[in-house]
Structure 1
């Protein structure tokens, strides 16, 4: 695939936004399924993370593979930091600011006993993307970023960028294909042997969860990187619509196999191995000709990363409300629906305001300050 023109993939931006929006809806509905995740509506919403890893591998390969004769390692990492860190900081700030509004003694066991200074310390550590262990588990969920749970995916993104910059970019395609095949084997093994029948996991700083996170990262990132190198450009009509429908279907499909866990696990592995690269392929080979659809895709792309990295503070609050006021007596479902819609809208609004009045200006300033060309 020619990389001489630095083509911008507006459909892939839109697809990232579609996946991020589905993640928000998934997390809102997850509040009602804490005790029985098999009944979760939008049951496979967590697989959006694996799609993000595929997309990341593709974009990194396309954007940087042919630039290393003019770019240093420092320049590469500066660009990644400029792209990601402003919203990482914002996500930590919002998580800290709303922390005590998430009160639920049974749900968040450590919240009530956590002092303000500890919240501030965890927030400042979160700015740096350094993960924390149980000594700083201010919530009690065992998250490596307890003020902003989804931060764990950025931790693995940075691992992927480091491996790419130091090793993967230098490897011939045949070696990358062998590594991707091995990674796919590990992914299938994880998915069909997991006690939960899912690939979900990776958010805790312990050996088992780190292993899950690395397995979830490895094949998707490698497959995206290979796709960026092998893909032959073509033109696929209606690819944005087709990709969006396909994404919605695979993420919202009910759990498969009942109590036979390996069936659901195998489904998830096959989605990650085949469907997500297909969606990226469709998106990279499409074109949006309708101006309204183009603006909508741009809007989705603009808010995709900000909404993903800031929405979970509001999810903590909403989940606490459902756990405290709805589930015990099985009441207030109407109010829960109103609050759920409000949580969804607020998440989008905060993301939009953050990107327009904070993220884009700060990234522009950092770029001028840090990058000479």
Structure 2
């Protein structure tokens, strides 16, 4: 009964998390820009950690889906809503990406271009490309879309993980989250220390599942009444601290096996930091406190962030294909601005005319079918 009453309670919007999601997408953009127009000096080392924005996406995805879940939503409706959320925009972004990343002509040595292969591209259409470790498949189609394979896997499991999670009180949920993190550390440490075991060949979606489960567990603990008083500065500081550890571990500990293992565990440390940041911002917002990340412009950009993520690499590599590699220079900041503006305009168009429009139409179609079959329409998931 406790679980049912908790699910039935309304949950408010957490706009600060939407705003923070934008910065995660922007970090990934900055990471990919170095392949085209790197900046000089240590700043490049900082930007190369932008890939960790994907880890934030995975933890946040588990949190948001569990935070917004409602009782009595049919599993088929849940799946359809997730499909409507990601697939139309993904397909348009894929069509745009193909002429940028593929060629029918002989490919020069060292080029990022790939030979056109319809069979491999079809794997991207059904978002299963990340089940293969071969880079030609893993990063096929729109290279950024490998994360959608992970998300599709997470979505498939979410209703069934929820059946285990929802009966738990907040303590059980926190223990499940801690267990997911410990598993992630154990797996990564085993791969680093005993590479001969072949565990590195575990498919990427399975490797990244603990991040999603952590997000789910934290959301359910908070829905069950957990309200830790963590200031948002501490949450954001945790994210920065992990990057700082990665950057300065060599100076602090020297270059050796311990440093190598710490660097190899960066994603796992960052997963914990993401959990701290999400809980800090959510708790602060639920206590009625104003957050900078919840400003109108950041929330708007956060709403565009999925579309921005889908198109950002395509236009970066299009610039690389047209203008060639730019040597490291501070003047490359002009390229950062130019490519960013193009990406942002494309993201706005993709979000406005495809992502949001198609999602509404597809959801309405399924809701009407559910109503016709006598199912109760429940609030959004």
* Residue from 352, 355, 359 that aligns with 1:359: 355
The answer to which structure has the higher helix fraction is: 2
Residue equivalent to 2:54 = 49
State the distance in 1 between where 2:158 and 2:291 align.
36
Q: Which residues of structure 2 form unaligned runs of 5+?
A: 1-5, 369-376
Note the alpha carbon deviations across 1:26-51, whole angstroms, 9 max, x for none: 11125578xxx997332422222222
Cα 1:100/1:223, change in 2 over 3 Å: closer
Residue equivalent to 1:222 = 213
Residue equivalent to 1:201 = none
Contact 1:307 1:347 in 2 (8 A): yes
CA positional deviation for 1:223 = 1.6
Give the TM-score of the pair, scaled to structure 1: 0.76
Contact 1:43 1:253 in 2 (8 A): no
Alignment coverage as a number of residue pairs: 341
Note the alpha carbon deviations across 1:140-169, whole angstroms, 9 max, x for none: 843424121222221111211212213443
1:215-294 superposed matches below 5 A = 215-218=207-210, 220-231=211-222, 232=225, 239=232, 247=239, 250-251=242-243, 255-258=247-250, 259=255, 260-273=259-272, 275-287=273-285, 289=290, 294=295
Cα 1:129/1:249, change in 2 over 3 Å: same
State the distance in 2 between where 1:39 and 1:332 align.
9
Contact 2:36 2:325 in 1 (8 A): no
Cα 1:130/1:222, change in 2 over 3 Å: closer
* Residue from 95, 98, 116 that aligns with 1:96: 98
* Residue from 110, 127, 132 that aligns with 1:107: 110
CA positional deviation for 1:14 = 0.7
1:315 paired with 2:316, answer yes
Cα 1:195/1:289, change in 2 over 3 Å: closer
State the distance in 1 between where 2:35 and 2:82 align.
31
State the distance in 1 between where 2:23 and 2:8 align.
26
Residue equivalent to 2:128 = 130
* 3-state DSSP of counterpart to 1:338: helix
Contact 1:256 1:264 in 2 (8 A): no
Contact 1:27 1:315 in 2 (8 A): yes
State the distance in 1 between where 2:312 and 2:319 align.
11
Contact 1:28 1:340 in 2 (8 A): yes
Contact 1:44 1:250 in 2 (8 A): no
State the distance in 2 between where 1:167 and 1:194 align.
26
- Greater alpha carbon shift after TM alignment, 90-99 vs 242-251: 242-251
1:18-57 superposed matches below 5 A = 18-30=23-35, 40-57=45-62
Residue equivalent to 1:203 = none
Contact 1:107 1:320 in 2 (8 A): no
Note the alpha carbon deviations across 1:221-250, whole angstroms, 9 max, x for none: 2221111121236597984x7655654564
Note the alpha carbon deviations across 1:197-241, whole angstroms, 9 max, x for none: xxxxxxxxx9845445423222x22221111121236597984x7
Cα 1:131/1:178, change in 2 over 3 Å: same
* 3-state DSSP of counterpart to 2:68: helix
CA positional deviation for 1:305 = 1.0
CA positional deviation for 1:3 = 5.6
Q: Which residues of structure 1 form unaligned runs of 5+?
A: 197-205
